[in-house]
Amino acid sequence: MSLTAEQVFDHYKKSRMTSIHLQTFADTQTLFESVMRRVAHDELPYDQRMGLQSFYATSEYAVAWQALEEIRDAVLKSLEVLRTQGVIRHSLDAKIQITFTKDFKEFAKISNLFTTLSGQTVCDFLKEYFIVSQVELLDKLTAGMSSPMPGLHILASKAAGAKCPRCWQWQIECRGENVCNRCAKVLKR
């Protein structure tokens, strides 16, 4: 991957002096302000722009991401238990079931963060964030769930269905050649 990044950077920036790997990262605050200025003159109505600015500027946003990181840590520990038991070999072989109870203090903030998702469901987002094939959000506790923190209950198991040979995601519904629906759409192009 590093070689590919270097080649792309060579093509993109002809007058470079050093390797891309020696470059510094962009200042995210400056980048955010630039995006907000651009959005300010584009298609979003004023009230939505202000809602975005206030949401991202508050510590509530940071607290929500911190809570998501803690949930991810708990999920990764559950996956490691399955891996040591020989149930799964990779995180994509897993299915995660999550239940939040009233004891989970950051639920409202995480829910607020989830409302900012566009173009994907909460389960799809969590599937990508945890790097697993399947995620289910359950209303009730089920047998075997662990509680790594108050109000959070997790059950990790082997994913159901067939493994897509292209993306390695486990899917219950597969189209011809056993590829998942997402890969089938990509291959049609």
Query: What gap in Å lies between CA 97 and CA 158, rounded to an integer?
Result: 11
Q: Taking 60 as the threshold, does the pLDDT of residue 37 lie above it? A: yes
pLDDT given for residue 3 in this prediction: 67
Closest CA to 157 of 138, 134, 176: 134
Specify the CATH architecture of the domain 70-158. 2-Layer Sandwich (3.30)
Give me the residue spans of the domains in the chain.
Answer: 27-57, 70-158, 161-189
Read off the pLDDT of residues 45-102 as tens digits, 9 standing for 90 and up.
Answer: 555 555 555 555 566 777 888 899 999 999 999 999 999 999 999 999 999 999 999 8
For residue 67, give every residue at least 6 positions away whose Cβ sits within 8 Å of its Cβ, in sequence order, or none: 106, 109, 110
Q: What is the mean pLDDT of residues 170-188?
A: 80
Q: Give the model's confidence band at 9: pLDDT under 50 very low, under 70 low, under 90 confident, else very high.
A: confident
